[in-house]
Structure 1
Amino acid sequence: MAAARPRHVLITGGSRGIGLAIAQLFAKNAYRCTLISRSEDNLKAAVATLHPLPSYPIPSEQTSAEETQKLHNHTYIPGNITPASTFWSTTSHFGTYLPKPPIRLPSAHPSRIDVVVNCAGITQAKLFTTLADATMDKIITTNLTSLMQGTKFLLRHGYLRGYNRHEEGEQFSPVVINVASLLGVQGGYGAVAYAASKAGVLGFTRALATEYASHKVRVNAIVPGYIETDMTKDLNASELQQRIPLGRFGKPDEIAQAALFLAENQYAHNCVINLDGGVSAV
């Protein structure tokens, strides 16, 4: 039996780079995308690049035509997730695009979130002893604390909730996908706080996977190496590529393919996919 609604993916940092590539691939595979980022202009431009969704029947007769249209189009939520406590506790953000919590949506409801991709992050290029405390705090808050608080918000308020695998006539369990970094495993010069934050993302992934398995919510992570994005454009690419066995930076759509795999493979839980062109092996 076909699903009564498109699967719904929420992507932080979804307006560009890896986050946008993930949104574009999920949209091509008939997922409804909700993107979160700071710039509304960038979000509008990003949503405009997403493949339109096919028509789906609405299971509830109480859903209006206006709600039907909103719930079956890609959308976005503008906002700065730092400080994380302010963004995630301001439920008016979500009342505009999603039902306000607390909610207990049935699995067939079109506003249920099936996939959360935590991709928002900022980088660092400064020696640790010269790094201002405020900058260090911002890196940790953006890359790790906000990721944890956002995931907790979605779990506690019922946006992301496990359900019986046969409720919709298909086998699909909700999943959290965290985007970490090679530097969180290997370390990196001039990136101590960034590396620490990304190592924390992997620790969070493993711990939450253990804690939430009984709730029928899967938790996975991707560990990208050097990827062609705005975050790596100022690096010495020619020097770094000599260290990478495959001899090049990765592409955002290659990371997106891993995210789609983690979403759709129902045995992927506490799965950490390393995508770095082999640099971690040398």
Structure 2
Amino acid sequence: MSSQRKVAVITGASQGIGAALVKAYRAAGYRIVASSRSIAASTDPDLITVAGDIADPATAERIFSEGVERFGRIDTLINNAGIFMAKPFTEFSQQDWLLNINTNLAGFFHVSQPAIEQMVRQGSGHVVQITTSLVDQPINGVPSVLASLTKGGLNAATRSLAIEYASRGVRVNAVSPGVIKTPMHPEANHSMLAALHPVGRMGEIDDIVNAVLFLEQAPFITGEILHVDGGQSAGHW
């Protein structure tokens, strides 16, 4: 197959933001390698699905061996896979700690390293992390230490990688959402969650997709943490 069409790798791609990103990038003409623990097989010749745990290095190996072998290149990586646990700090278990570290940080490492290696060989590429505005603006009543620790680490890695690879054609950015209306939030909680944002509503999945697409089309932007949070990160109200 021709390797001229752009290719995007999207993790956490089976539902919510990840599934919407797959749809948006396909609509933009990209070939896709989509991964999650439970993603279904694809009949689309321009869409490879890889089922597996992103914390397992073998999953990352399959993503890139299958993606590069079939499509010949990787232009964009969206590190969307992640977990969020709202627990008081003293109630986190060792299992909680390992699950957060393995999914949010180890998963990022295992996938981003081969992606950036491939992008450097090509002379261009773009990596985007999906983090959280709780890193910059904690909210009383929303205990989020492990999310802040791991996603804050991704924000720091975003800036560091942006500088390290700027001269080699690879951009690295992040989108930092507020609370987004996804299947993980029961409708009964929507009013309470909407009130956490100065604009008075939860974010929509399209708000995040549009932010990622904006960064995709902005070649002079790298090292940016783009807050898409209804004013949450600006301060208290």
Moved over 6 A (4+): none
2:105 matches 1:144: yes
Secondary structure of the corresponding residue to residue 240 of structure 1: helix
Matched residue type, 1:267? F
**Map of 1:56 onto structure 2:** none
Structure 2 runs not aligned, ≥5 long:
none
- Mapped partners of 2:63, 2:207: distance in 1: 31
Matched residue type, 2:155? L
1:144-183 aligned within 5 A = 144-156=105-117, 158=118, 160-161=119-120, 163=122, 173-183=124-134
Q: Is the 8 A contact 2:132 2:177 kept in 1?
A: yes
**Map of 1:75 onto structure 2:** 48
1:235–1:263: structure 2 CA closer, same or farther, 3 Å change rule? farther
Secondary structure of the corresponding residue to residue 226 of structure 1: coil
1:1-282 aligned within 5 A = 5-41=4-40, 44=41, 70=45, 73-82=46-55, 84-88=56-60, 91-92=61-62, 94-99=64-69, 110-156=71-117, 158=118, 160-161=119-120, 163=122, 173-188=124-139, 189-233=142-186, 236-281=189-234, 282=236
Q: Is the 8 A contact 2:198 2:230 kept in 1?
A: yes
How far has the Cα of 1:125 moved from its partner? 2.2
TM-score by length of 1: 0.75
Q: Which moved more, 1:230-239 or 1:271-280?
A: 230-239
1:272–1:135: structure 2 CA closer, same or farther, 3 Å change rule? same
Matched residue type, 1:161? V
Matched residue type, 1:274? H
Structure 1 runs not aligned, ≥5 long:
53-69, 100-108, 165-172
- Mapped partners of 1:74, 1:199: distance in 2: 31
TM-score by length of 2: 0.88
Q: Is the 8 A contact 1:77 1:93 kept in 2?
A: yes
- Mapped partners of 1:149, 1:78: distance in 2: 15
RMSD: 2.3
Secondary structure of the corresponding residue to residue 227 of structure 1: coil
- Mapped partners of 1:118, 1:145: distance in 2: 11
- Mapped partners of 2:149, 2:93: distance in 1: 16
- Mapped partners of 1:266, 1:239: distance in 2: 38
- Mapped partners of 1:15, 1:245: distance in 2: 30
- Mapped partners of 2:210, 2:73: distance in 1: 23
Q: Is the 8 A contact 1:123 1:231 kept in 2?
A: no
Cα displacement string for residues 47-96 of structure 1 (whole angstroms, at most 9, x for unaligned residues): 57xxx7xxxxxxxxxxxxxxxxx5xx1121111112x33433xx355444
Name the larger-Rg structure: 1
Q: How many residues align?
A: 232
- Mapped partners of 1:204, 1:178: distance in 2: 9
